[in-house]
Structure 1
Amino acid sequence: MKKEFRKKVISERKNQTSEFINKNSSIITEKILEMDCIKEANTIMLYLDFNNEVKTDHLITKLISLRKTVASPITLKKEHKLIPAQITDPINGLTVNTFGPYNIREPKPDCSPTINVKDLDIVIVPAVAYDKNCYRLGYGGGFYDRFLVNLRPDAKTIGIAFDLQIFDEVPREPHDAQLDFIITESQILIPKN
Structure 2
Amino acid sequence: MNAAPEPAAPRASGTKAELRRRLLAAREETTEAERDRAGSAIRDAVAVLPQLSMGGTVAAYYSVGTEPDTRKLVATLWKQGVYVLLPVFLPGGALDWAAYEGPDSLAPARFGLLEPTGPRYGTEAVARAAAVVCPALAVDRAGRRLGKGAGCYDRALSLVGPNTLTLGVIYDTEFLDEVPAEPHDRAVQGVVTPGGGVRML
> What TM-score, normalized to structure 2?
0.85
Which contiguous aligned blocks of 4+ residues in structure 1 show a shift greater than 6 angstroms?
none
2:116 paired with 1:114: no
Residue in structure 2 matched with residue 178 of structure 1 by the alignment = 187
Q: 1:97 aligned to 105, 109, 114, which one?
A: 109
Q: Using the TM superposition, give the Cα deviation of residue 112 of structure 1 relative to its aligned residue in structure 2, in angstroms.
A: 3.7
Q: Does the 8 A contact of 2:46 with 2:52 survive in 1?
A: yes
CA contact (8 A) 1:128 1:165 kept: yes
Return 5+ residue gaps in structure 1 as ranges: none
* 8 Å CA contact 2:55, 2:83 repeated in 1: no
Mapped to 1, the partners of 2:116 and 2:183 lie a distance apart of 31
Checking the alignment, whether the CA contact within 8 Å between 2:143 and 2:187 is kept in structure 1 is yes
RMSD: 1.5
The one-letter code matched in structure 2 to 1:139 is K
Which residue matches 2:96? 83
Partner of 1:144: 153
Q: Which amino acid aligns with 2:167?
A: I
1:120-154: CA deviations, max 9, x gaps?
A: 11110001111122211000000110111111331
1:134 — aligned with what?
A: 143
Find out whether 1:32 has 2:46 as its counterpart: yes
Q: Which residue of 1 aligns with 2:200?
A: 190
* C-alpha spacing 1:113/1:81, structure 2 compared with 1 (3 Å): closer
Residue 170 (structure 1) shift: 1.2
Matching of residue 51 in structure 1 with residue 61 in structure 2:
no
Q: Name the aligned partner's letter for residue 30 of structure 1.
A: D
Contact 2:55/2:80 (8 A) holds in 1: no
* TM-score, structure 1 as length reference: 0.89
Cα deviations across residues 50-101 of structure 1 (Å, max 9, x unaligned)? 12111122111111111110110001023x210111112x222111222xxx
Could you tell me which amino acid in structure 1 is paired with residue 169 of structure 2?
I
In the alignment, the residues of structure 2 paired with residue 30 and residue 121 of structure 1 have an alpha-carbon distance, to the nearest angstrom, of 18
The answer to whether the 8 Å contact 1:182/1:190 transfers is yes
Structure 2 counterpart of 1:9? 23
Other structure's SS at 2:150 match:
coil
Determine whether 1:155 maps to 2:169: no
- Choose 1 or 2 for highest CA Rg: 2
Query: Is the CA contact (8 Å cut-off) linking 1:9 and 1:128 kept in structure 2?
Result: yes
Separation in 2, partners of 1:92, 1:190: 34
Partner Cα distance (1:84, 1:35) in 2? 22
Provide structure 2 residue ranges, at least 5 long, that are not aligned to the other structure.
1-14
The size of the alignment, in residue pairs, is 184
